[in-house]
């Protein structure tokens, strides 16, 4: 299938998932994951209506940003090392992966203007994954209240590694993140409008559980070699 056909199919599947839970497909924001994707292919998806791209690595984004520029909005969706913060702030408008006070402090120190961020939560409790423990999410959010350069816009999570074979395995993780969002909003009297969860293997489950931002690569670009 062509990229155009892939995007059309993705939009169709989003619409079906929304219909199952009585949601509006226009609520769903697509972040096209462009890890290892070459510039011509990225340009092609931009021509077919993609407006947000997500990069996992700052170094890779640095090579692409001068060639693509601000035709699209750039999201940092991978783990952000503190020594990459300065470069990241020059490219990205949303960081999905705020996962430590150390990182928050570095962003606070290096940001000239406030940057939108999502708190990454390790809802699957996998030791190989980054993210705040769900049990610490409320306290972590509260600890950020005095950081003037961080606009906390919501939460992000990744389904368990085995969700590639069993997408239903992600449902408890997504349900937990949605519940944490409600708990933080009530406890801290705040608004967290973004729930970033769901990738190619499980984005329909994520939508059913409340996601309004999905991060999709393979469903758009096809398998990577």
Is residue 161's pLDDT more than 80? Answer: no
Longest dimension (CA), the chain: 49
CB 34 within 8 Å of CB 224: no
Q: Given pLDDT bands bounded at 50, 70 and 90, which one contains residue 163?
A: low
Average pLDDT over residues 85-103: 98
Q: Which residues touch 84 (CB under 8 Å, ≥6 apart)?
A: 58, 59
Is residue 172's pLDDT more than 90? Answer: yes
* Domains of the chain, each with CATH number or no CATH: 3-220 (3.20.20.10)
pLDDT in tens, 102-145: 999 999 999 999 999 999 999 999 999 999 999 999 999 999 98
Is residue 165's pLDDT more than 80? Answer: no
* Average pLDDT taken over every residue of the chain: 95
Average pLDDT over residues 92-102: 98
Cα angle for residues 172, 198, 175 (degrees, 5° grid): 25
pLDDT in tens, 174-189: 999 999 999 999 999 9
Average pLDDT over residues 12-39: 97
Residues 55, 167: Cα–Cα separation, whole Å: 23
Residues 110, 171: Cα–Cα separation, whole Å: 37
């Amino acid at each position: 299938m062509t990229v155009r056909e892939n995007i059309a199919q993705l939009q169709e599947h989003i619409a079906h998932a929304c219909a199952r839970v009585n949601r509006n497909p226009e609520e769903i924001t697509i972040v096209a994951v462009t890890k290892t994707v070459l510039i011509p292919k990225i340009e092609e998806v931009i021509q077919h209506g993609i407006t947000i791209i997500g990069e996992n690595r700052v170094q890779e984004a640095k090579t692409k940003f001068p060639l693509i520029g601000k035709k699209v909005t750039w999201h940092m969706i991978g783990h952000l090392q503190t020594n990459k913060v300065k470069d990241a702030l020059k490219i990205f408008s949303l960081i999905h992966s705020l996962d430590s006070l150390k990182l928050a402090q570095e962003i606070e120190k290096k940001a000239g203007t406030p940057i939108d961020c999502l708190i990454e939560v390790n809802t699957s409790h996998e030791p190989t994954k980054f993210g705040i423990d769900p049990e610490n999410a409320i306290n972590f959010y509260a600890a950020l209240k005095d950081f003037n350069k961080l606009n906390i816009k919501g939460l992000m999570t990744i389904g368990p590694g085995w969700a590639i074979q069993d997408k239903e395995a992600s449902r408890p993780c997504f349900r937990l993140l949605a519940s944490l969002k409600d708990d933080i909003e009530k406890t801290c009297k705040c608004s967290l409008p973004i729930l970033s969860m769901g990738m190619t293997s499980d984005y329909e489950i994520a939508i059913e559980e409340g996601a309004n931002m999905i991060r999709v690569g393979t469903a758009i670009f096809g398998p990577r070699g």
